[in-house]
Amino acid sequence: MKAQIRQIAAGLFQITLFPPFPGFEDFIGVYLHQGPPAFLVDVGPAVTAPQLLTALDEIGIPCLDYIFLTHIHLDHAGAVGEVAARFPAAQVVCHKLAFNHLVEPGRLVQGTIKTLGDLGRGYGPMKAVPAERLSDADGFNEKSIHAVLTPGHAPHHVSYLFGSILFAGEAGGVSPPFAAAEMYLRPATPPRFFLETTVKSIDALMELSPSSICYGHLGIKEDAVGRLGAHRRQLLDWFAAAVEENRRTVKADLAQVLLRRLAAEDPLLSILPGLPPAVRKREEFFLMNSISGFISALEALTDNP
């Protein structure tokens, strides 16, 4: 399978990757700025590394200055070893909490397989990155690129502002490029999820006043501040629903009850029933993962009232 290359702004490309899973078309991708400075935002999973490297050759990228990682989940960073080896002058910029996992990725890979099962295994083995290639994103502000620590989806999540374009990873949720006119937007809140931390990260991004947002899953959208605000409200609405259902639903049924309620009531999920079966299955899988995050947040409140 060949990656899909689409120019989305002057010198800026979206490269859509195609892992070998049903329903994962138009879901995983990376962003390339031709330069100067030449950089990638995320690299996708190891299984699609050949697609990415072929696409970079096709565009004509002889070198990279930076490889920016929003976080090190395998669908975003699994190919970093291969890409770093191909571009030996590139700094790999990420949160310092990610350093050890990139130098010795074994535990990260095994943890992903434990959590995601066959999907995690299918992302492929992650190759190590030499420690001297890693740069701390905290305080990074070079060549018009400003790194913003945005914990929430992961404690080590980082977003990047380049001019007026925000590369948000999953800090602003997930918004795949569906054909429907209605906005589709869902949380990316795996356990353990901390609502206050996530909302503060969104607020920090809104204060930057970006004009466009590039989602990790997937694509560039205008009205970045409006979309971030919509996601902020969505998170608060989901938490309120989780609190309410937790009072009247047995724990074993809570996740399914919440999925049915949110799918019916959240206008940002309105197109879910009409998605192709494989895509809907993918979305429901990740929706349940996000709902598990909200349940873990409730449990943390119960343990620490």
pLDDT at position 98 over 90: yes
8 A C-beta contact, residue 12 and residue 33:
yes
At 302 the pLDDT is 62
Confidence category of residue 145, pLDDT binned at 50, 70, 90: very high
Instruction: Return the percent helix, strand and coil in the chain, to nearest 5.
Output: 45, 20, 35
Between CA 186 and CA 68 the distance in angstroms is 24
CATH of domain 4-232: 3.60.15.10
CA 22 to chain centre: 19
pLDDT at position 236 over 70: yes
pLDDT tens string 172-216: 999 999 877 789 999 999 888 999 999 999 999 999 999 999 999
183 conformational bin, left if phi > 0, alpha if psi -120 to 50, beta if neither: beta
User: Within the chain, which residue ranges are assigned CATH 3.60.15.10?
Assistant: 4-232
210 conformational bin, left if phi > 0, alpha if psi -120 to 50, beta if neither: beta
At 303 the pLDDT is 58
Between CA 24 and CA 43 the distance in angstroms is 16
At 192 the pLDDT is 83
Q: Encoding tokens for residue 66?
A: 């930076």
At 182 the pLDDT is 83
Strand-pair category, 91-94 with 219-222: unpaired
Mean pLDDT, range 230-257, rounded to an integer? 94
Between CA 216 and CA 29 the distance in angstroms is 7
8 A C-beta contact, residue 205 and residue 65:
no
At 304 the pLDDT is 55
Q: Which range is least confidently modeled, 94-108, 231-245, 289-303? A: 289-303
Nearest Cα to Cα of residue 178 among 247, 271, 264, 253:
271
Between CA 9 and CA 23 the distance in angstroms is 27
pLDDT at position 256 over 90: yes
Mean pLDDT, range 236-241, rounded to an integer? 96
- pTM score, whole prediction: 0.95
Between CA 282 and CA 22 the distance in angstroms is 8
At 213 the pLDDT is 98
